[in-house]
Amino acid sequence: MTNKIRAIIVDDEPLARKGLAIRLSGIEDIDLIAEGHNGLQAVELIKEKKPDLVFLDIQMPGLNGFQVINRCKELDIPIPLIVFVTAYDSFAIKAFEIHALDYVLKPVDGQRLEEALTKVRQYTELHEESEHKSKLVELIAEFTGEDCEEVLRKLSENETITTNQKHYADILAIKDGSEVTRVPVVDIQWIDAAGDYMCVHTNNDTHIMRKTMKELEEQLDPKFFVRVHRSAIVNIKYVNKLISHISGEYHVALANGEELRVSRSYRDRVKEMVHQ
């Protein structure tokens, strides 16, 4: 190759970064241009340095590896070739191979690293980056929100990962006596429980339906709808503020002025979605 492959390493473990950097320093066609230690820094480095290749740890503070790629997609930052660096065993990580991704296990083995770099060189030489990136984005699109954390859990527990993307409802058909009202999901601001019934609040109306919170939650896309406490789900698009009180409680303020309490068990997920 006449041009070197410009690479960065992002890993929250200093020894892992150092070990990989040492191995890469002995490879003639790799130019290590930067290192990062968390997911947020990964996004900034990809934006600023425009590398050809990123060695990306999967589980990091701030944003994990999947979320880094999703954030780049959201910000319209060109996504480079990605080689995941992970402590998960090879049996679990096989799930990624169907998406034409590569990975190296910690601690990085020299032969396995060279195999990964061979794939990178082939992609570069054959100008197949676009195919790789589209498959990568497809994978990450399936693993965002709560699904992303579920993938990490399955990897850590050596479970099989299925990547069939679930279709979520665009319309809720709400029956009221002899009438059925078709309510667009995009118009739903929040849902709360009232005994055995669910109150579905839209921009203009409140509809009553007989379903459980769990059944409704399964119909709604978790990228937009988040549980704030046991009896309420909100559409994150209608959340204006996340308010912390002196008492330690959190509330979400919706665009229509409604304020809902956030229970402790759902607080981290709500904070993550509000800050996206």
In a domain, 161, yes or no: no
Please list the pLDDT of the chain residue by residue as tens digits (276 residues).
458 899 999 999 999 999 999 999 989 999 999 999 999 999 999 999 999 999 999 888 888 888 888 888 888 898 888 888 887 765 445 545 534 357 787 888 888 899 889 888 877 776 555 555 555 555 555 555 445 566 666 655 656 555 555 568 888 888 877 888 899 999 999 999 887 789 999 988 899 988 888 888 888 988 889 999 989 999 999 999 898 887 778 899 998 888 999 988 888 888 888 876
Residues 152 and 175 in one domain: no
CATH number at residue 13: 3.40.50.2300
Domains: count for the chain: 2
Q: Strand pairing partners for 86?
A: 105
Q: How far apart are CA 68 and CA 11, in angstroms?
A: 12
The whole domain housing 267 covers 171-274
d(CA 8, CA 37): 11
Q: Of the residues 125, 156, 187, which one is the last residue of a structural domain?
A: 156
In 3D, which of 216, 221, 223 has the Cα closest to residue 191? 216
